[in-house]
Amino acid sequence: QAIHLDAYRKPDYRIESLALAFDLEPEATRVKSRLQIAYDGSPSDLSEAALPPLWLDGDDLKLLSVCVDGTPLDETEYRQDATGLSLDVTSPGFLLEIETEINPKANTRLEGLYISSGTFCTQCEAEGFRRITFFPDRPDVMTVYEVTLRADKALYPVLLSNGNLVESGDLPDGRHWTRWEDPFPKPSYLFAVVAGDLACVEDSFTTASGREVALRIFVEHGNEGRCAYGMDSLKRSMRWDEERFGLEYDLDLFNIVAVSDFNMGAMENKSLNVFNSKCVLADPDTATDADYASIEGIVAHEYFHNWTGNRVTCRDWFQLSLKEGLTVFRDQEFSADMRSAAVKRIQDVRSLRARQFPEDGGPTAHPVRPASYIEINNFYTATVYDKGAEVIRMMQGLLGREGFRKGMDLYFERHDGQAVTCDDFAAAMSDATGVDLNQFKLWYSQAGTPGVTVTGEYDAAARSFELTLSQTIPDTPGQSGKRPMHIPLDFALLDPDGQPMPLKLACEEAAPTSRVLELRAARQTFRFENLDHEPAVSINRGFSAPVNLSIEHTPATRAVLMGRDGDSFNRWETGQQYATGLLLEAVEAGGEGRQTPEALIDALRETLLDEAQDPAFRALALTLPGEAFLADQMKTVDVDAIHIAREKMRGDIARALRDELLETYRGMQSNAPFEPTADAAGKRALKNLALGYLTASGKAEMWDLAVVQSRNSDNMTDRMAALALLTDRQGPERDDCLQAFYQRYRDEPLVVDKWLALEAMSVLPGTLERVKGLLKHEAFTLTNPNKVRALIGVFAAGNPLRFHQADGSGYQFLADRIVELDRINPQTAARLIAPLGRWSRFDGARQALMRQALETILSAENLSPDVYELTSKSLT
Ligand code: ARG
Ligand code: ZN
């Protein structure tokens, strides 16, 4: 059942061209395909008897006919099973014609061709194309597509596919047709079709070399006013890719379609990106600043795939990070350039720690390039995407920006139009710069987050400082006894004023003030000379390597790093580490612990009031480490004590800084109309951070501020911030505010999702019961992935206190929903399993209950491979 990287074999046959014709009908769509096929083996085995059979993948298809060179095959000439079709081949080149019938309306898995709110759309990555027609559905089979679409003209006035529109016309019976040609060879996973009654917002972009590109965003009628930000993000992405990487768009049109039922965020189909409406539609009344930022990043991500993914694609799905890690890195760099780079980096590291580190430390840990899988959809993970992006970032760190750009240029020069591997990418980087990446490539094959321990010793008499680094790579399922990795650590030594000191190594003359220390052995020592003060060690600056760093600071060096490090990431990080240590101490003491030390309060006050700092940075620096992060630092998680300790510290800070917080809350208010800029968003973030503390200060009237803000603000960011506070507070205001919010937005599906999520993340004791009740609410449906994630996903992954309540009812609730959803949409069901997989981190009673919930899932009948794979791995 499992597929292995080692078992890769080149395909036997090449597809020289493909023509597809669709007669679109909701319950019986006919698909005719014509494939020009050629044997791709060596000419020496071209004796006819030796031609291997041709394998075509197929899933849930009704086969109507198969013809070879115009002659129908009889049933002895092919073999069909539930996974596809095997044909006997008698000639090295032939025309294959296949007709199939599919039922898009019954397609609740949202893979292949399905219907979302009356619009036909497709999702083919990774293996959805085989649910449309029989085809060698693997990324190393690339061909040119010609697509003809026929459908009812009144119901489906818009008919789209990849590439250029070459012809269209009317048909009898109120039908019409269009024909599309995509000149760029592509794998089947990039194929797309959309047909519906959609509104269109149009703009254009002129590329660096003067190509006029028509840009269109298609949306349901009524959503035209929510496209402006997505369109602007697209244009900025197109310009950025030209400037940073010299990459231009290659067709005369670029289409985006927003659909409301979608398993993931968006999909980079060639010239026809399909988006989850949540990831592209925005206006101030319905989208938060976080939504705007995420839209900007996702629009860029999908656009950037045109080169990293489409022009150069993956040889096989083990290489998924070749396109995803690289494209995430590119979208991160883009957002960093559009906004505050420091803030973006902190946010990305927070999300890496929240999603990828636990994966790396849990039962489904896998390398960036996995070695085997049962269901590829389960490998669209934080490891492949986000750790994969960190691997690319480290390469850029080792090669320098210029070297990295040379490597990218060589990669495209060598591989444009090809399906390649992560090794090919690393080879281009290495060949373009002469940097040896052999040890570095262990980042692709060894799972687990490396631990790096840093110790330092200052010798005042010798004026020298000795720094010792050691690394350990934890064992992960199926992998033990790992080799030391090549870990680039950005590094500086700071004097008491926070100024970087010259870093003179004993063996070298040069003394730069910052260096990349390359840790390659299990343990390495560096000795720096000519230092007049005991330095504060600023290491892994900008989070240059995705490792767990352990380093002790003295109160004095901590104060230098927290208050003066020129690397904002480390300034933030040092504060977080300090608060984490204090909180974990309090947790050990059962939650309450001692009074929060003045040193922390003073540092926070200084940051809060430091007008030289970006408000967005100040908001992050004042945010205490989250409960999930704290849990990850514990051997045995105590959800209740963590909650108590964190709330206690919040209260201490709020009371100590109340005046400053109130002043900040007022100072960050603005009367200007809402703008989604990074600047304005940063002010709102700091204002809402202040509001959060104020409500934690124990003064009841502070809650009035939240109530007023939830009702009267002119934008969703402020409304949601206030409601997120209110949802944790028992009482009539809470229910009134949430009720008023629902009534106001009941016809806006994306806002209703926010409302469901607010209920799901409440720390109040009755939350699980309310969540259960909401399953039956008119606003909820299991068939829409956004709704599932908003209610069930947020409860399980975003509400540790209630999900882990001691009686295990949260676990059983989740298990039942997963089984129920697996019959509708296995891919989305599988994504809900992870919180149960963390059982080994909890106390014995919870462990038993969590395993029992996993057993409940495993004992259900007809489990999908998606849910089976993750559940069974979670139990070992
Ligand atoms: N390639 C898409 C993106 O990252 C994601 C598609 C995921 N599809 C899936 N079936 N898992 O932009
Ligand atoms: Zn992607």
Please give the distance, rounded to the nearest whole angstrom, from the Cα atom of residue 365 to the centre of ligand 2: 20
What percentage of residues in the chain have a pLDDT greater than 70?
A: 99
Q: Which of 268, 302, 375, 759 is catalytic?
A: 302
Q: How many H helices and E strands in the chain?
A: 30, 32
pLDDT tens-digit profile of 693-732? 999 998 999 999 999 999 999 999 999 999 999 999 999 9
Identify the pLDDT of residue 591. Answer: 80
Nearest CA to ligand 1 atom 2: 267
Q: Are 817 and 832 contacting, i.e. CB atoms less than 8 angstroms apart?
A: yes
Distance, in Å, from the CA atom of 218 to the CA atom of 204, rounded to the nearest integer, reads: 14
Please give the distance, rounded to the nearest whole angstrom, from the Cα atom of residue 174 to the centre of ligand 2: 38
Please give the distance, rounded to the nearest whole angstrom, from the Cα atom of residue 107 to the centre of ligand 2: 23
Please give the distance, rounded to the nearest whole angstrom, from the Cα atom of residue 322 to the centre of ligand 2: 10
- Reported pTM: 0.98
pLDDT tens-digit profile of 574-608? 999 999 999 999 999 988 878 999 999 999 999 99
Please give the distance, rounded to the nearest whole angstrom, from the Cα atom of residue 413 to the centre of ligand 1: 26
Identify the pLDDT of residue 47. Answer: 63
Residue 46, pLDDT > 90, answer no
Distance, in Å, from the CA atom of 840 to the CA atom of 848, rounded to the nearest integer, reads: 9
Query: Which helix (H) or strand (E) is 805 found in, with range?
Result: none
Atom of ligand 1 nearest to the CA of 301: 12
Q: Confirm or reject: Cβ of 662 under 6 Å from ligand 1.
A: no
Atom of ligand 1 nearest to the CA of 385: 4
Q: Confirm or reject: Cβ of 377 under 6 Å from ligand 1.
A: yes
- Mutation probe of ligand 1 site: the residue of 189, 262, 380 with most atoms within 8 A of C-beta: 380
Q: Does the active-site annotation cover 302? A: yes
Please give the distance, rounded to the nearest whole angstrom, from the Cα atom of residue 281 to the centre of ligand 1: 19
Q: Are 567 and 541 contacting, i.e. CB atoms less than 8 angstroms apart?
A: yes
1 confidence band (pLDDT: 50, 70, 90): confident
- Mutation probe of ligand 1 site: the residue of 109, 124, 125 with most atoms within 8 A of C-beta: 125
User: Burial level of 546, CB count in 10 A (0-12/13-18/19+)?
Assistant: buried
Distance, in Å, from the CA atom of 78 to the CA atom of 96, rounded to the nearest integer, reads: 13
Phi/psi of residue 413, nearest 5 degrees = -60, -40
Identify the pLDDT of residue 348. Answer: 98
Distance, in Å, from the CA atom of 330 to the CA atom of 308, rounded to the nearest integer, reads: 9
Q: Are 24 and 149 contacting, i.e. CB atoms less than 8 angstroms apart?
A: yes
Q: Confirm or reject: Cβ of 303 under 6 Å from ligand 1.
A: no
- Mutation probe of ligand 1 site: the residue of 186, 264, 274 with most atoms within 8 A of C-beta: 264
Residue 509, pLDDT > 90, answer no
Residue 751, pLDDT > 60, answer yes
Mean per-residue pLDDT, 407-435: 98
Please give the distance, rounded to the nearest whole angstrom, from the Cα atom of residue 473 to the centre of ligand 1: 29
Q: Which residues lie below 8 Å from residue 662, measured CB to CB, with a gap of 6+?
A: 690, 694
Atom of ligand 1 nearest to the CA of 111: 10
Identify the pLDDT of residue 507. Answer: 86
Please give the distance, rounded to the nearest whole angstrom, from the Cα atom of residue 380 to the centre of ligand 1: 7
Nearest CA to ligand 1 atom 8: 125
Q: Are 817 and 795 contacting, i.e. CB atoms less than 8 angstroms apart?
A: no
Q: Are 110 and 137 contacting, i.e. CB atoms less than 8 angstroms apart?
A: no
Please give the distance, rounded to the nearest whole angstrom, from the Cα atom of residue 310 to the centre of ligand 1: 13
Q: Confirm or reject: Cβ of 582 under 6 Å from ligand 1.
A: no
Ligand with the closest atom to the CA of 267:
1
Mean pLDDT of the chain: 97
Ligand with the closest atom to the CA of 327:
2
Residue 460, pLDDT > 60, answer yes
Q: Confirm or reject: Cβ of 267 under 6 Å from ligand 1.
A: yes
Ligand with the closest atom to the CA of 263:
1
Distance, in Å, from the CA atom of 377 to the CA atom of 369, rounded to the nearest integer, reads: 14
Q: Which residues lie below 8 Å from residue 723, measured CB to CB, with a gap of 6+?
A: 710, 737, 738, 741, 758
Ligand with the closest atom to the CA of 139:
1
Q: Confirm or reject: Cβ of 268 under 6 Å from ligand 1.
A: yes
690 confidence band (pLDDT: 50, 70, 90): very high
Atom of ligand 1 nearest to the CA of 380: 11
Nearest CA to ligand 1 atom 5: 267
Residue 476, pLDDT > 70, answer yes
Q: Confirm or reject: Cβ of 302 under 6 Å from ligand 1.
A: yes
Ligand with the closest atom to the CA of 126:
1
Residue 16, pLDDT > 80, answer yes
Please give the distance, rounded to the nearest whole angstrom, from the Cα atom of residue 571 to the centre of ligand 1: 35
pLDDT tens-digit profile of 376-418? 999 999 999 999 999 999 999 999 999 999 999 999 999 999 9
Q: Confirm or reject: Cβ of 375 under 6 Å from ligand 1.
A: no
Q: Are 593 and 652 contacting, i.e. CB atoms less than 8 angstroms apart?
A: no
Q: Are 61 and 92 contacting, i.e. CB atoms less than 8 angstroms apart?
A: no
For residue 721, is the peptide bond before it cis, meaning its omega torsion is within 30 degrees of 0? no
Q: Confirm or reject: Cβ of 124 under 6 Å from ligand 1.
A: no
Q: Confirm or reject: Cβ of 324 under 6 Å from ligand 1.
A: yes
pLDDT tens-digit profile of 142-191? 999 999 999 999 999 999 999 999 999 999 999 999 999 999 999 999 99
pLDDT tens-digit profile of 51-76? 999 999 999 999 999 999 999 998 89
Q: Are 361 and 633 contacting, i.e. CB atoms less than 8 angstroms apart?
A: no
Atom of ligand 1 nearest to the CA of 309: 1
Q: Which residues lie below 8 Å from residue 876, measured CB to CB, with a gap of 6+?
A: 363, 477
Distance, in Å, from the CA atom of 110 to the CA atom of 117, rounded to the nearest integer, reads: 12
Exposure on the CB side of residue 718, measured as CA atoms within 13 A: 26
Distance, in Å, from the CA atom of 221 to the CA atom of 62, rounded to the nearest integer, reads: 34
Q: Which residues lie below 8 Å from residue 246, measured CB to CB, with a gap of 6+?
A: 409
- Mutation probe of ligand 1 site: the residue of 122, 267, 825 with most atoms within 8 A of C-beta: 267
Q: Confirm or reject: Cβ of 266 under 6 Å from ligand 1.
A: yes
Mean per-residue pLDDT, 333-358: 98
156 to each of 24, 115, 165, 174, how far by Cα in Å? 9, 12, 16, 11
Atom of ligand 1 nearest to the CA of 305: 12
What type of residue sits at position 45?
A: D
Q: Confirm or reject: Cβ of 866 under 6 Å from ligand 1.
A: no
Residue 48, pLDDT > 60, answer no
Buried b (16+ CB within 10 A) or exposed e, 287-298: bbbebbbbbbbb
Mean per-residue pLDDT, 825-838: 98
Q: Are 738 and 748 contacting, i.e. CB atoms less than 8 angstroms apart?
A: no
What region, left, alpha or beta, does residue 144 occupy, with left being phi > 0 and alpha being psi -120 to 50 degrees?
beta
Q: Confirm or reject: Cβ of 380 under 6 Å from ligand 1.
A: yes
Nearest CA to ligand 1 atom 12: 267
Please give the distance, rounded to the nearest whole angstrom, from the Cα atom of residue 265 to the centre of ligand 2: 9
Nearest CA to ligand 1 atom 3: 267
Q: Confirm or reject: Cβ of 126 under 6 Å from ligand 1.
A: yes
Q: Confirm or reject: Cβ of 386 under 6 Å from ligand 1.
A: no
Q: Confirm or reject: Cβ of 234 under 6 Å from ligand 1.
A: no
Query: Which helix (H) or strand (E) is 270 found in, with range?
Result: none
Please give the distance, rounded to the nearest whole angstrom, from the Cα atom of residue 285 to the centre of ligand 1: 29
Ligand with the closest atom to the CA of 326:
2
CA-nearest of 451, 479, 447, 426 to 367 is 447
